[in-house]
Amino acid sequence: MKNDEKFYDVERKIHSLPEPDYDKNFTKDTQDKIHENLLQFASSYDNKKRGAAIMKKILVGLASVAAFMLFAVLAIPLIEDKLSSSNSNKQGEQTKEPVTIDKNKEENDNKNPADQKSTETNLYENTEYGFTFALPKGWEGYQIVTDTWEGISTEQNKIIESGKILLIRHPGWTEANPRQDIPIMIFTLDQWASLEKGEFHIGAAPIGPTKLGENNKYVFALPARYNFAFLEGYEEVESILQNHPLLTKNLSNNNK
């Protein structure tokens, strides 16, 4: 726009010049000079016009770049916010899906432990020696088999002590396919004290029985290497014993 105004200004100045003397004869040099000046003026005007067009294109390009950058600056944060919001919603959905409430577990947790044990296990109670033993439901119909342990004197190499072993036998046990029993050795307090002093030993095992519990008259123990034969069900018996199923209670003086 400014270049056009300059052109029009030059044009007005040319028109303001006095009328040429058409009758005057110019020399060839003068005509050539005038012609050269006109060509220079036309070339200069053309260059200015071309430069203005190029500048206009450059300005348009810069304006486009600036507009794109402005759009990017404004749009990218909005896109990021939208993506983060979408991801947070997905994460929220993922954390919500696996969360389940086990009503049965809550009911079991709220039950009295004694009631729970009575409904989920078979309880073997021995009133003669004063203990109870909790068995899984699968042991319903178990049998109690009585055996004997013998204590051999360390010095005299002869039997000096003996006592009972109660075998809790799985209902699926057969002679053709025997299963692992749960053996409970019964010691008097004096016998257990003597065993701990090393006055006698039981069998050839280098280690003694494992204590399961005691009351005011008896000690109950698990024989060493009781599962050495690896009979069917020995792993289940190990699992049962890990839950400390034997509980004792003191006996009155009327009991032997």
Indicate whether 102 belongs to any domain: no
Asked if residue 90 has pLDDT above 50, the reply is no
What average pLDDT score do residues 29-49 get? 68
Structural domain range at position 63: 2-18+25-94
Which residues, 6+ apart, have CB-to-CB distance to 226 below 8 Å? 183
Is the domain of 89 the same as that of 118?
Answer: no
Is the domain of 67 the same as that of 119?
Answer: no
Nearest to 116 by CA among 106, 125, 126, 129: 106
Burial of 239 (0-12, 13-18, 19+ CB in 10 A): exposed
Domain count along the chain: 2
Is the domain of 222 the same as that of 135?
Answer: yes
pTM of the model: 0.54
Is the domain of 169 the same as that of 225?
Answer: yes
Q: What percent of the chain has pLDDT over 70?
A: 62
Whole-angstrom Cα distance, residue 191 to residue 40? Answer: 134
Indicate whether 101 belongs to any domain: no
DSSP-derived secondary structure for 31-67:
HHHHHHHHHHHHHHHHHHHHHHHHHHHHHHHHHHHHH
Q: Which of 45-59, 165-179, 224-238 has the lowest mean pLDDT?
A: 45-59
Is the domain of 180 the same as that of 242?
Answer: yes
pLDDT at 36: 74
Q: Are 222 and 241 in contact (CB under 8 A)?
A: yes
Q: pLDDT, tens digit, for every residue of 67-76? A: 777 776 666 6
Is the domain of 118 the same as that of 35?
Answer: no
Indicate whether 79 belongs to any domain: yes
Whole-angstrom Cα distance, residue 171 to residue 52? Answer: 107
Most confident of 82-86, 91-95, 169-173: 169-173
Indicate whether 105 belongs to any domain: no
Q: pLDDT, tens digit, for every residue of 191-222? A: 999 999 999 999 876 789 999 999 999 999 99
Q: Are 217 and 189 in contact (CB under 8 A)?
A: yes
Q: Between residues 36 and 168, which one has the greater pLDDT?
A: 168
What average pLDDT score do residues 114-129 get? 74
